Amino acid sequence: LPEHDIVVLDEDDFDRNRIRYVATWGPKPGSLSHLPALEAVFSLGAGVDHLMSYQGLPDVPIVRVSQDDLTHRMSEYVVLHCLMHLRDQRRFDAAQRAKHWDQDRAPPIASEVRVGVMGSGVLGQDAARKLKVMGFDVAAWSRSPKSSDGYEIFSAEEGLAAFLARTDILVSLLPLTPETRGILNRSLFGKLARDGRLGGPILINAGRGGLQVEEDIVACLDDGTLKAATLDVFQTEPLPQDSPLWTHPQVTVTPHNSAVSDAEMTARYIAGQIRRHEAGEPFQNVVDPRRGY
């Protein structure tokens, strides 16, 4: 954007009256206030919970990142971990370390395993499509009613119980909002299918840590309500050293890197949005602050 000056908060001196756009992740209190020429705020990631919790969010379009490289990375992660659970890969990792030839059974195939994707937005739809290609029996859940050619989409509170009852692997790709906070809890885990081929329900959460109640996850793993979990996001990040999730034998921990935004791609995306806006076209991927996503 050669026609614009670009400044960095806390590094450069600048005149707040001249700031037209802000790109941010987890803005400090006050940092978005007193910017009279502000035209838009860009979230440096797909999620905007870090902005929705800002006190006094400016009344300008809030634009989030939604681009193919991030979407494809997330689908890679979801497919990888669904396949890891399908093939019980962690068991073979342990067997290899013990030099144990653990060849005892034919695993189920993907079509015998029901994956339920919570959140049927940009990420959920791409992941669901790719899980279908691998053969999984896929369904999804969203806030508003939707349809898809390839799989069933349940919606809202009314559709939740039926969605959970047909789910062996629950993939969470929900945004964190007041409605979804803490949704991944014991009551919900207790409604997942118990008659599946994997020996118990499995949770994969790559949405946000605030969606999950970690105490419930550990207790449900210990009493068999859940069989295993893959978690990319946590209530507190980095995951505290004393969290039992680090060492739980049924938990796979990844450090919030299922779909890291590439800095170069994100910069290009934001520059592209600014060019659209300055050419009189609307921003894309504008968030609705009333919904919180």
Which residues make beta-bridge pairs with 203?
170, 229
- To the query of whether residue 100 is one of the catalytic residues in this protein, the response is no
Q: In the complex, what is the shortest distance from the CB of residue 290 to ligand NDP, in angstroms, rounded to a whole number? A: 12
The yes-or-no answer on residue 277 being catalytic is: no
| 246-253 long-range contacts, CB within 8 A, separation 24+ | 248/218, 248/221, 250/221, 250/226, 251/217, 251/221, 252/81, 252/84, 252/90, 252/228
Binding residues for ligand OXD restricted to 30-59, rule: CB under 6 A: 45-47
Torsion angles phi and psi, residue 192, rounded to 5: -75, 160
Instruction: State the nearest-atom distance from the C-beta of 135 to ligand NDP, in Å.
Output: 23
Binding footprint of ligand OXD, residue count (CB under 6 A): 5
Residue 252 Cβ, how far from ligand OXD at the closest point, in Å?
Answer: 18
User: Is 209 one of the binding residues for ligand NDP (CB under 6 A)?
Assistant: no
Contact 133, 139 (CB under 8 A): no
Among residues 46 and 127, whose Cβ is nearest to ligand OXD?
46
Q: Would you tell me how many other CB atoms lie within 10 Å of the CB of residue 76?
A: 14
Amino acid letter, residue 238: P
Residue 20 contacts residue 37 (beta carbons within 8 Å): yes
> Which residue sits closest to ligand NDP, CB atoms considered?
121
Which residue in the set 81, 85, 114, 143 belongs to the binding site for ligand NDP (CB under 6 A)?
A: 143
Any contact of residue 122 with ligand NDP (CB under 6 A)? yes
Q: Shortest Cβ distance from residue 49 to ligand OXD (Å)?
A: 8
Contact footprint for ligand OXD (CB under 6 A): 45-47, 259, 261
For the annotated catalytic residues, the residue numbers are: 208, 256
